[in-house]
Structure 1
Amino acid sequence: MTWHNLTGEEALRRLHSDGRQGLSEAQAKERLARYGPNRLAAKKPKGLLRRFLAQFQDFMVLVLLAAAGVSFVISRIRGDGDFIDSIIILAIVFVNALVGMIQESRAEKAIEALEKLSTPHAHVVRGGKLRRVESDRLVPGDLVQLETGDLVPADIRILRSQSCRAEESALTGESLPAAKDGGAVVPEEATVGDRKNMLFSGSSVVDGRAFGVVVATGMQTQMGRIAGMIAHEEAPQTPLQKKLARTGKVLGLAALGICGVIFALGLFQSIEPLEMFMISVSLAVAAIPEGLPAVVTIVLAMGVRRMAARRAIVRRLPAVETLGSASVICSDKTGTLTQNRMTVTKLGDGSAFLPLSGKQAQELLELASLCTNCRTEEGRVVGEPTEAALCTACQVPKEALEARWPREGEIPFSSARKRMATFHRRPGGGYRVIVKGAPDLLVERCSRLRTAAGEFPLTPAWREKLRRMNESMAGEALRVLGVAFRDTDTLPKGEEAETGLTFCGLVGMMDPPRTEAARAVKLCRGAGIRPVMITGDHGATAAAIAKQLGILRKNGKLLTGRQLDAMDSRTLEGEVSACDVFARVSPEHKVRIVRALQAQGQVVAMTGDGVNDAPALRAADIGCAMGKGGTDVARAAADMVLTDDNFSTIVSAVREGRGIYSNIRKTIHFLLSCNIGEILLVLAAFLLNLPTPLLAIQLLWVNLVTDSLPALALGAEPAEKDVMHRKPAPRDSGVFSGGLGASIVVEGCLIGALALLAYTIGRVFFDGPAQAPQVGRTMAFAVLSLSQVAHAFNMRSEHSLFSIGFFSNPKLNLAAAVCILLQVSVIAIPAAAALFRAVPLTGAQWAITASLSLSPVLWVELEKRLFRRQKAGKSRAL
């Protein structure tokens, strides 16, 4: 229903409501049952069971479950009752799912604390009586009374209004309030911002008053329709999810391939099929880093806690890393980069610009403040933003001014007149008329000019100076008002009151940038991140703010919504990389811009606080909403909520995200190099026709204990000092990019070779040729485990371990100590040794084991030194 295209009487008639009595309580109750509560439809939250089961969708987890099943079947066929392998695999999968479920539930509970109704109460006429009711009890047909400062609880067709203006930036992106007129009938095709006879849910009345009838509630409001758009935007996978998914599939297929090859070779050599199958499964288990899903989940969870301490609440666990990979941050202007508060920034009288604190400036601001309808409540100026800016800039409270200059009348502002006039009694007798409005029209009504040098006739030369000054201020994207006055002995009436005025000066205002935003933008550029402004505001205003903040570069472009409409998707993709500012855009435009950037391979972060930001927040790789000033719709669409509404918090989040991504790469590096060592140890022994160097339970022990604990500690590694001087990880970069894959293979071969050497020494020198390789197997078990603990210290930094401090990560020190203690215990304690089929080692055997286990530290230190020299050589060549 196009309510704006109907008269007020027609709207009441169609809603079956009385324009004076409103609805009866019985009617309201019946309509509430029919239309439902006046709130946005919330997605049904996932239950704990659904959250828990969702954790089992990972490919690696599914392969592990299959391995556990195969191991269980083999044990049943053998009839030996040895289900340890199956139990341990299932245990790690269960713990991983439990951790993921708990962390996601905690994130949702944290965001619930921010989600409050924007309009908790409303003043409604029911049964002819004005009463205060909860806003979610409103129904279509209710009559609502709104005063200055009230929040609009639903979509309302205005029936009567008096100087009403509404702040609708959350819906339209406009900084300035929209004038409202209940008597108007607006064309059916009018945009939301042009529907002057409507008030919309989520907006607020900043001036005047209005009385109207509710025409839409809940999801049928404009806010609800935009919220409905979000349902059609699929939340994209984060870069981390995509990379881990690819890694999981590669590892799973590799594991299955190893199983197949080894099983076929065993059958070819006439080895008993059941035994051969168990060996193959053990190798597959070694090939898959069982701890990786749990470790990555916990590393992300630690990041969530750290980011919450920095006032950024993450709603989806994998989104922690995404902001660290962001290459473009698209930010709304109003309320995100700016303060969403009009402020006087410049004054002029035609002869010169005035300091804001001088005597002449104070006189000008007192006149302007008197010609407003603001009021002071609890020390805060309340009213229309432009007028509030004038009263705030004036150092004398408006109530004190009006005590000296009592108001006797007013000619309200209108869009046709473009000015407002107030009449005041002078302290010495007589009256003063004060007029403020559009400077070019106001000057035409003036005959004199007041400057610092005195009053002069307003000659054509002075008029030209005022015109140039007005244009200069407007060119800086300031909203400029002229202020004039006239003293009379009698109270004037009508248009005559606004003639023969003395022009006092020009007042320039703007919605200023946040003080910390410019520094945050600079830090983003230093980190290789391109900031982009996307706003519904005018191009000149957007460009001025963007230049002040450093967003609009010298060669940067500005595109408007009209220009975007003329472009197809391919043309936009070609233009978007050179455009720093997008102005006068709609929610649909924002989504197109985000998708065009993503098509260019960018990882896009979108920040915003208004309802109009929500679809783009959802479409972006990560959406960041404001927690204080943001709307419920924006917060629900976002992946992350900034609780302090501070743009600079994004920079802290970027740093944290990059540190987390780096730590995840370290854990993957560590776990895969260790697992490759295990694979090579078992595979080499098989190809050399040697007895199995490790048993399945020993492999699982290494994977799930001495692998996972150091990996978790690596996840707590502090971000390196130069993390914000690196370029973001490209969208299409793999987990193994930057030479990581080669390092994993080389270091894995080293660990496998050391364990095989320990196995050979133990078997040849301590076991005897005819005996089972108990000492050799135990030494291989110990070296494989302890060398991985030592290798964890190599992963801490790309720089030398000795330059950052060997023991500067207390969590890793503790993890290493626990792992060493556990590994020694399962060998030295008889009961544990029996469970793990190991034997006690002598002092000499432990000395050999320790020497071999420390070798990876020396090897990787040499590798780092060679890498640094190679990198330095390339830099000199460039």
Structure 2
Amino acid sequence: MQMKNQNNILGDKNLIVQKKLDELQTKYKTTPELLGDLCSQNDPTNPEKLEKIGGSKGIAKTVQTNLQNGLPQKDLKNNLDERKLYFGENKFKEPEFKGFWGLFKDTFDDPTLKILIVSAIVSLILGVTVEDPKTGWIEGTAILIAVLIVSFVTAINDYQKEMQFRELNKIKDNITCTVIREKLNGNSEAEGEKLAISIHDIVVGDIIYLQTGSKVPADGILFYASELKTNESSMTGENDEVRKTPDEDCWVMSGTEVTQGEGKYIVTAVGKHSQWGKIMEKAKGKEDINTPLQDKLEVMADQIGKLGLYSAILTVLVLLIKWGFKLYGRINEGQNFEFHDLVEITDAIIIGITIVVVAVPEGLPLAVTISLAYSMKKMMQDNNLVRKLESCETMGNVTTICSDKTGTLTKNEMNVVEGYFFGKKYDTQPNKKNLNPTHYQILIKNIALNSKAYLHYDESKQKNKIIGSQTEGALLLLLKDQWNEDFESIRKKHENEDSFVKLISFSSKRKRMSTIIKEDNDNYLVFCNGASEIILDKCSHYINDDQEKILDTQTQEEFFKGINKMASSGLRTLCLAYRRVDSNTCDEKWLENIDGIEKDLTLLSIVGIKDPVREEVPHAVRESQNAGVTVRMVTGDNIETAKHIAKECGILKEDGVAIEGFKFRNMTVEEKKKIIPNLQVLARSSPQDKYDLVTLLKEMGEVVSVTGDGTNDAPALKQAHVGLSMGIAGTDVAKEASDIVILDDNFKSIVLAIMWGRSVYDNIRKFLQFQLTVNVVALITSFLAAVSGQGIPLKAVQLLWVNLIMDTLAALALGTEPPTKDLLKRAPYKKSSSLLNGIMKRNIAAQSVFQLIVLLVILQFGGKFFGLNPLDTEDKLHLDCIVFNTFVLMQVFNEINCRKINDEPNIFKGIFNNWIFCGIWIGIILIQVIVVEFGGSFFSTVHLNVFEWGVSTFLGLLSIPLGFFFRLIPAKSD
């Protein structure tokens, strides 16, 4: 009845949803599929389809939005919900997740587990039918239950890992874009405001603003463009830039990248209806790619597994040979073969298979996964969004960082603090009353119109926040906060009058941008802003208070001296200039000649922009240097500015080299390699300079990390071993090309990434040291006991418990050790370094020898010491239980030793900072007590008295002081 009611409820919900969809189809008079097909590739009918619907205006009318101010704010939430329901959400279907029970089922695909299960069932049948129906079932059942427990714990770990990675992928894919929506309390005629929102919140009908470096978040039709070009290689495979205009190629597709200019378009398809979504639907799930460390560990795991297999085969052969001689002797005595004899064969096979299960170190890849998943989650709290797993471990071995200046080493809070205005030097921001009114009007137009940045008032901080270029934003703050000018109304006026003629975008190669507008008298104004020495070199005149004068060599030299003086004090300088052009000159041919446009300029102002160094950066740089990492500043700024900031940060030393990009690129490869070891500042650098530097550093054997925020930084980000993009100032293209996104654009976060990377590598080594000790002791003990004829002291179900401790729980305990500042007090490991260094080999060998001696002594002399007769079945079981208990406790205490792998004297340091380790360690001891005291026939254990527990614990505890003395034995660290 309950199931029937649930089906009725679901049916009612489906009817309600379908009714709502029918209403929306009537409202919009189109379907998501029809709009989605408007941008379909290689469809020659697209222009006709678009013309039939009425172009972008027709689409806007159909989807009920406004090209000027975007979606209405009135009842916005319901509006968005309706659009998401009808047109779909801008999200892609996640790969199918098997869920916990699916992962649990998968654990039984392991061939060794299958054989173990079959053998356990055979043992169960023989035990009940041949041995003793009352107790013969115990061993087979115990093994089956132990296998279930191991599989259950493995499935839990796999499930948690999958959930962590899915959560991280959601964050990784959730980038922001700029959308235009109607202003709150605005009128329908007012232009909408630009808002930064998640791409997942975009709906059909939204107006998207694109600029250089944007990643197109959804399909749509362009209705405004200025020098807009996109890279559509992700869709077409062609790397050529495609020019986009509203009149010709107006189709923009999700997944493509804006390489130049700006534009606005109306969204027609999102999610699965977009062109990128259709490709994603067809694409099959991509398999996870191993990290380099995982590859190394899988090779090692394979080698250890083979060793375990050979040991198991030898052990089984020895047991079968002994069984054969025993059987032969009985037959000679006239006894017949009995079914009971099959039990010994089954036991031997079970022991052999269990040894293989214990020997195969599934925990090695698991430890990497756990450590990486844990580290990635914690790194998010340290403002490091890891996009590629391998970068997490690679960061630990980075030997050089090529860092940007602005925003990474500095606060990226720019303000104009001094400068030249109309030929006069001001040591502070000038009062507009002191400036010539005529030229002042030209200057504020330059600032307002020759910029793509804008300001958003932050209610919480009670101040304007810059959105876009911080340098351009500094000028807007001067305009808005100091001079009380409304730059938005200036922009709006010229947009309404349609006076914008051309925008020549800023690029790191050109280091300037220009805007051409038409004046009321049909003449034209060219506004040009950019790097001071570049713009000043293009100026032929300058404003001297209220007059325009020829810029002679002497005056130009004085301005250059002023620029250098400001730069030497750490200010970024920016030059603002303009030019009037006769209407007869401004034809199409002239507009295409950028160099012809940006010449014969008249200097308006040279501003000094202060961007303070972050307080924490000098210390973070020192930490990097102490960790053996060379920090280099690679910036587009003036060399004097760069040198001043680099000295303030502690990057530029007395013996360091600071050089400009053009000098660096004109050197031969040999000359570059000669200065690179001492190169600490590369100023006025181009993206190609950064790429060349990274390439040469890699050739010289360095492990390179590079930061970048612009579209043109993408090649260098990809070329580096670890590319670090900026989460705040970085373009979508830069983030896509990077391995880690620094969410707060702060150099301190980069240092934390190094620390986490080293922690991951060290945690794996800790686990490896622990596991190999267990492996060696378990294999040799089992083999020697079998050969000696004393019988295997560690039973199959006990070995499975040891396997659970060794593989799963230890991987979780040691794989989640948090990083410490001590990790930054050593040099990076060499790329050629083995996973097992000399120190680890010494520790493994020493602890293994100690443990083997203890176990073999107990087996040989334990009977007399504990007053037990090994020939008596019950006493033999009692002695084996003491061996098992001592073996487990030695591993438990040795796990504390394994927390340190570099001969650190204090193995307890920071132990209480890892509650996971402490919890697991205490948990193992408690479970061991339960297994021994209450396991009984199930675990082949018996009650141990206080003395026996005391001896076992003492022998286990002995591994800690012995470990201290072992660390005094000299060994190589790599």
TM normalised by structure 2 equals: 0.63
- Percent of residue pairs identical: 24
Q: Residue 34 of structure 2 aligns with which residue?
A: none
1:770 aligned to 853, 871, 877, which one?
Answer: 871
Q: CA deviation at 1:711?
A: 5.6
Do the aligned residues in 1 keep the contact of 2:706 with 2:723 (CA within 8 Å)? yes
Residue-by-residue CA offset, 1:134-154 (whole Å, 9 max, x unaligned): 965379xxx999999x99877
2-structure distance, mates of 1:527, 1:593: 22
C-alpha RMSD over aligned residues: 6.6
**For residues 162-217 of structure 1, what are the alpha-carbon distances to aligned partners after superposition, in whole Å with 9 as ceiling and x for unaligned?**
xx688x99999xxxxxxxxxxxxxxx99957999999988999999x978899999
Alignment partners' CA distance in 1, 2:748 and 2:741: 13
Residue 146 of structure 2 corresponds to 88
Aligned match for 1:108, one of 156, 166, 186: 166
Amino acid at match of 1:45: E
Q: CA deviation at 1:669?
A: 1.4
SS at 2:447 equivalent: coil
Q: Give, as a single letter, the amino acid of the residue that structure 1 aligns with 2:464.
A: R
Confirm or deny: 8 A CA contact 2:424 2:545 kept in the other structure: no
**2:326 is aligned with 1:278:** no
- Given that 2:375 and 2:760 are in contact with CA atoms closer than 8 Å, whether structure 1 keeps it comes out as yes
Q: CA deviation at 1:862?
A: 0.8
Deviation of the 1:340 alpha carbon? 7.1
Q: Confirm whether residue 837 of structure 1 aligns to residue 922 of structure 2.
A: no
Q: Paired residue for 2:561?
A: 469
Q: 1:212-262: per-residue Cα shift (whole Å, max 9, x none)?
A: 89999999999999999x999998632331232122111111111212333
TM-aligned CA deviation for residue 776 of structure 1: 2.0
Amino acid at match of 2:575: L
User: Which of these residues, 392, 396, 400, is aligned with residue 477 of structure 2?
Assistant: 392
The separation in 1 between residues aligned to 2:308 and 2:825, in whole angstroms, is 38
CA distance in 1 between partners of 2:870 and 2:519 (Å):
113
Counterpart in the other structure of 2:772: 672
1:36-55 equivalences under 5 Å are 45-49=94-98
Change in 2 beyond 3 A, CA 1:83/1:840: closer
Per-residue deviation at 1:545?
A: 9.9
Deviation string 1:744-769 (CA, Å, 9 cap, x unpaired) is 12212211221222233333442225
Cα 1:572–1:810 change in 2 (3 A) is same
Which whole-Å CA distance do the structure 2 matches of 1:294 and 1:787 have between them?
A: 23
Does residue 1:696 correspond to 2:801, yes or no? no
Deviation at 1:679, TM superposition (A): 1.9
The match for 1:722 is: 822
Q: Distance in 1 between matches of 2:230 and 2:565?
A: 23
Residue 789 of structure 1: aligned partner: 892
CA distance in 2, matches of 1:402, 1:315: 38
Question: Which residue type is aligned with residue 481 of structure 1?
Answer: C
Given candidates 99, 106, 118, the residue that maps to 2:177 is 118
Work out whether residues 165 and 384 of structure 1, in 8 Å CA contact, stay in contact via their aligned partners in 2: no
TM-superposed CA distance for 1:584, in Å, is 4.0
Alignment CA distance shift 1:458-1:78 (3 Å): same
Structure 2 residue runs without a partner (length 5+): 1-45, 65-85, 129-136, 183-188, 194-200, 325-343, 458-462, 505-512, 530-534, 586-600
- The one of 558, 568, 575 equivalent to 1:481 is 575
The answer to whether the 8 Å contact 1:443/1:463 transfers is no
Structure 1 residues 48 and 601, CA gap change in structure 2 (3 angstroms): farther
Residue 301 of structure 1 and its aligned partner are, at CA, apart by 4.0
The verdict on how the C-alpha distance between 1:376 and 1:70 changes in structure 2, with shifts beyond 3 A counting, is closer
Instruction: Please tell me whether the aligned partners of residues 708 and 717 of structure 2 are also in contact (alpha carbons under 8 angstroms).
Output: yes
Matched, 1:444 2:545: no
Give the structure 2 partner of residue 372 of structure 1. Answer: 447
- Structure 2 Cα separation of the partners of residues 436 and 525 of structure 1: 41
Within the candidate set 663, 678, 683, 2:783 is matched to 683
Letter in 2 for 1:284: V
Q: CA deviation at 1:52?
A: 8.5
Q: How far apart are the structure 2 equivalents of 1:633 and 1:384?
A: 15
Give the CA deviation at 1:780: 0.7
Listed one character per residue, the Cα deviations across residues 243-295 of structure 1 (whole Å, up to 9, x for unaligned) are: 32122111111111212333344455564754443332233233234655555
Give 1:354 shift: 5.0
1:373 partner SS: helix
SS of 2:893 mapped into structure 1? helix
Q: What is the alpha-carbon distance in structure 1 between the residues aligned to residue 285 and residue 924 of structure 2?
A: 49
Query: Using the alignment, how far apart are the partners of 1:821 and 1:145 within structure 2?
Result: 61
Question: Do the aligned partners of residues 71 and 270 (structure 1) sit closer, same or farther apart at CA in structure 2, a change above 3 Å counting?
Answer: closer
Distance 1:335 1:837, change over 3 A: same
Q: 2:477 is aligned with what amino acid?
A: T
**5 Å matches for 1:23-422?**
23=58, 45-49=94-98, 62=110, 64-65=112-113, 68-69=116-117, 71-72=119-120, 75=123, 78=126, 81=137, 82-112=140-170, 115=174, 118-120=177-179, 137=204, 237-269=290-322, 271=324, 274-289=346-361, 291-292=363-364, 294=366, 296-314=368-386, 320-329=392-401, 344=416, 347-348=419-420, 354-356=426-428, 368-369=443-444, 372-373=447-448, 378=457, 380=464, 388-393=473-478, 396-399=481-484
- Taking structure 1 as reference, are residues 51 and 728 closer, same or farther at Cα in structure 2, changes over 3 Å only? farther
SS in 1 for 2:889: helix
Alpha carbons of 1:619 and 1:782: their partners in 2 closer, same or farther (altered >3 Å)? Answer: farther
Contact 1:412 1:421 in 2 (8 A): yes
Q: Distance in 1 between matches of 2:96 and 2:502?
A: 54
Give the 3 Å change call, closer, same or farther, for CA 83–635 of structure 1 in structure 2.
farther
- For residues 631 and 475 of structure 2, the distance between their equivalents in structure 1, rounded to whole angstroms, comes to 32
Following the alignment from structure 1 to structure 2, what is the Cα–Cα distance between the partners of residues 233 and 786? 43
Counterpart pick for 1:662 among 751, 762, 769: 762
Cα gap change, 1:274 to 1:534, in 2 (>3 Å): farther
Contact conserved, 1:52 with 1:98, CA < 8 A, in 2? Answer: no
The answer to whether the 8 Å contact 2:153/2:808 transfers is no
Deviation at 1:302, TM superposition (A): 3.6
CA displacement at 1:92 relative to structure 2: 2.2
Q: Offset at 1:18?
A: 9.1
From 883, 889, 905, the counterpart of 1:800: 905
**Partner Cα distance (1:541, 1:233) in 2:** 49
Mapped contact 2:541–2:602 kept (Cα < 8 A): no
Q: Distance in 2 between matches of 1:746 and 1:325?
A: 29
Which residue number corresponds to residue 757 of structure 1? 857
Q: Which runs of 5+ in 1 are unaligned?
A: 1-10, 30-36, 124-128, 173-187, 425-432, 487-491, 496-500
Alignment deviations for residues 781-821 of structure 1 (CA, whole Å, 9 cap, x no partner): 11111122222222233322377388776655554443333
Counterpart of 2:419 in 1: which secondary structure?
strand
Q: What is the CA–CA distance in structure 1 between the aligned matches of 2:893 and 2:503, rounded to whole Å?
A: 76
Instruction: Tell me if the contact between 2:53 and 2:59 (Cα under 8 Å) persists in the aligned partners.
Output: no
Cα distance change, pair 337–90 in 1 and its aligned pair in 2 (3 A): farther
- Number of matched pairs: 795
> Using the alignment, how far apart are the partners of 1:43 and 1:839 within structure 2?
57
SS at match of 1:48: coil
Partners of 2:118 and 2:693 lie apart in 1 by 50
Q: Is the 8 A contact 1:594 1:616 kept in 2?
A: yes
Code of the aligned partner of 2:315:
I
Decide whether the 8 Å contact of 1:170 with 1:610 is kept in 2: no
Normalised TM-score (structure 1): 0.69
Residue 48 of structure 1, CA deviation: 1.3
